Structure 1
Amino acid sequence: MGSASPMGYAWFFEEYQKESDLIGVTFVRGLSPEEACHRIGATPGDTSREVGIAAYAGDGGTVLIDYHCQPLPETLSQGTEMARVITGVTMDEHFVYSVDGVVVTEFEPFFPGDRNGSDPDRLLAHMRELGMPLDGEADGRTSIALAFALAAEATGVTLTPAHYAAEPVVGSID
């Protein structure tokens, strides 16, 4: 198992809860923040459109954060892989892992045993190592922390408080 753990993202809960009750976080392997923004149609520096995006350089790639949870194009994972976690008090949580434009594994973090996608069991070893409850329901905060750790583990991209404190590349999409 890699270095991702649910406790490694506890700080992130505190940060995003200051900003919004709804958030989308996308880990993308091997892309710079500028390239990730380009792939989703966001012009870096242009914040004039409806949905704001912040792209942080992390270890191994980029982490995109948006506070409106608009669907991001699967082209974001062309030639690479991405994992997206959507969470908030006003909607259902969601985890999706895509490789080369194809949704491989997706599930609700509260119910990780109920997976869909082209290869729903691809991340099963990581899920077991993280201690995801594959035969029952996870509790709220723990399920999202596990989903963030799984996203980091699956993509090899990590976001630390130091990465988050750095100035992100910002843009917007419609």
Structure 2
Amino acid sequence: MITPPDDYAWFSYERFPDLTEAYCFTYIRGLTPEQLVTRLGARPEDFTLMTLEELIATSYRHGYGTAFLGATTIGDWVFVVEPNGGIGADEGIITPLSAGTRLVSHFRDVEGVESFYWSEDGEIRFCFIADDGYSEEAPEEIVESMQRIDSDYRHLYPSEGPAFLMAERLTGITLTPELLEGSTYLCGAIPESR
């Protein structure tokens, strides 16, 4: 059973003040954290293991021109956390990164702009960008979830549950605060010129 969007109310400013206002969560099937961070341009000698709290604090010390992210394994997936980052919402990066696999991401920036992407085998299958709406008609795999969101949860911003619901539907992963906070992340700095 898929979690109702309201069950993601734990992802709040009160619990995650330095993450909820600007984040990107990306799920990629079939890669290891090391493979992912290397593909994005981080140098293996710079990899560091961190807790979520350390990842968030370190990411805010990196200036413009460098993204800082952490990746961990959840089943067959690598889960990426970008505090105040948006690599997972960059079509020029996620489209080739999804070659031969599935990639799902959701993003929110400090101005409240939100997006959701599902890319598979080098093609964007579906995306939602705040203020622009849906990229196209929803693929059959997510029609039921989209109808449920449209009828029952239209009042919520994607980051208040619907994006989590869609990611869960496409990955089978129910993100929980315990999973987010209890994971160890392989972290690296990614140069903007990747």
Bin of the TM-score, shorter chain as denominator length: 0.7 to 0.9
Map of 2:190 onto structure 1? 173
The Cα of 1:137 is off from its aligned counterpart by 8.7
The Cα of 1:41 is off from its aligned counterpart by 2.4
Q: Which amino acid aligns with 1:25?
A: F
Matched, 1:77 2:98: yes
Q: Which amino acid aligns with 2:175?
A: L
Give the secondary-structure state (helix, strand or coil) at the position aligned to 1:126: helix
* Bigger Rg, structure 1 or 2: 2
Matched, 1:125 2:141: no
Partners of 1:28 and 1:86 in 2: how far apart? 15
The Cα of 1:166 is off from its aligned counterpart by 1.9
Q: Which amino acid aligns with 1:11?
A: W
- TM-score, scaled to structure 1: 0.76
Matched, 1:104 2:120: no
- TM-score, scaled to structure 2: 0.70
Query: For this pair of structures, how many residues does the alignment match?
Result: 167
* CA RMSD, Structure 1 to Structure 2 (Å): 3.1
Q: Among residues 153, 157, 165, which one is paired with 1:149 in the alignment?
A: 165
Map of 1:27 onto structure 2? 27
Map of 2:4 onto structure 1? 5
Give the secondary-structure state (helix, strand or coil) at the position aligned to 2:11: helix
Matched, 1:62 2:81: no
The Cα of 1:109 is off from its aligned counterpart by 5.9
Partners of 1:77 and 1:110 in 2: how far apart? 25
Map of 1:53 onto structure 2? 69
Matched, 1:139 2:150: no
**Structure 1: segments with no counterpart, 5+ residues:** none
The Cα of 1:78 is off from its aligned counterpart by 1.5
